Amino acid sequence: MAAGEPVDEIFESFIVPLVERAVPEWQTTLDALLTLPEIGGPVGYSGMTAIGIRLAVVEPRISAAGFFAGGFVPSALREEARQVTIPLLFLLRWDDDGNDRQLALDLFDAFGTREKTLHANLGGHAGTPWFEVDDGWDDDGNDRQLALDLFDAFGTREKTLHANLGGHAGTPWFEVDDGNRFFGRHLR
């Protein structure tokens, strides 16, 4: 990667088999957990994007997901992303040198769900900010790249980008709740 040589084939060779083994293991785990009397649905998934895409497509018991954008997603799974129709929170580390930001943004666009949110935070590959633990992408009237450049330009070290489907008006209800938590944290 540091030499600038293509690495897609290398990553594809071990991520695809990992996903093919991990998804049945997640399903077996769900089978076992859901037999326990103290555990019931609905079920959510939070974790590696490549595994999460396949799991969300093949496992009807998953009703919402949170994916971490800092990882390689094979091309076949990027195509499967169009079949993901559950509510989705996509976390992106803005300054992750090991992962292509534009590929992550393209993947966000590819997800088939109409209820999806992108949270982009400063920092490299590791370290989701503490405030994320708590916590209008199709706007023809505004320049998306200009908005991303503006996000980069803000000087604060605590900043989060929320991008949602839809035009200029009509903030999704779930973002209103997130905004209330944000102001509750900062306006004490």
Asked whether residue 67 is assigned to any structural domain, the reply reads yes
**Is residue 47 in some structural domain?**
yes
Domain count, the chain: 1
pLDDT in tens, 69-103: 767 788 889 899 999 999 888 888 777 777 778 88
For residue 25, being part of any structural domain is answered with yes
pLDDT at residue 128 in the model: 57
CATH number of the domain to which 182 belongs: 3.40.50
- At 158-185, the pLDDT tens digits run 556 666 655 544 555 566 566 566 556 6
Please give the residue range of the domain that contains residue 56. Answer: 8-186
Mean pLDDT, the chain, as a whole number? 75
To the question of pTM greater than 0.85 for the whole model, the response is: no
Neighbours of 24 (CB within 10 A): 11
> Which pLDDT value is given to residue 180?
63
Report yes or no on 21 lying in a domain: yes
- Residue 101 is assigned to a structural domain of this protein: yes
Q: What is the pLDDT at residue 80? A: 94
Phi, psi of 150 (to 5 degrees): -65, -45
Residue 127 falls inside a structural domain: yes
Report the distance separating Cα 149 and Cα 45, nearest Å: 31
* Beta-sheet pairing, 160-164 with 116-121: antiparallel
Question: What one-character DSSP code corresponds to residue 37?
Answer: T
Encoding tokens for residue 159?
Answer: 């900043």
Residues 6+ apart with CB under 8 A from 105: 92, 118, 148
Tokens 């209008």 found at = 136
Does residue 3 sit within a domain?
no
In a domain, 1, yes or no: no
Distance CA 149, CA 20 (A): 37
C-alpha 137/C-alpha 124 separation (Å) is 23
Using only the alpha carbons of the chain, give its radius of gyration.
17
pLDDT value at 121 more than 80: no
**DSSP one-letter string for 102-144:** HHHHHHHHH---SSEEEEEESSSSS---HHHHH--TT-TTS-H
pLDDT number for residue 149: 59
1-15, 35-49, 75-89, 129-143: range with highest mean pLDDT: 75-89
Instruction: Check whether 67 has a pLDDT greater than 80.
Output: yes
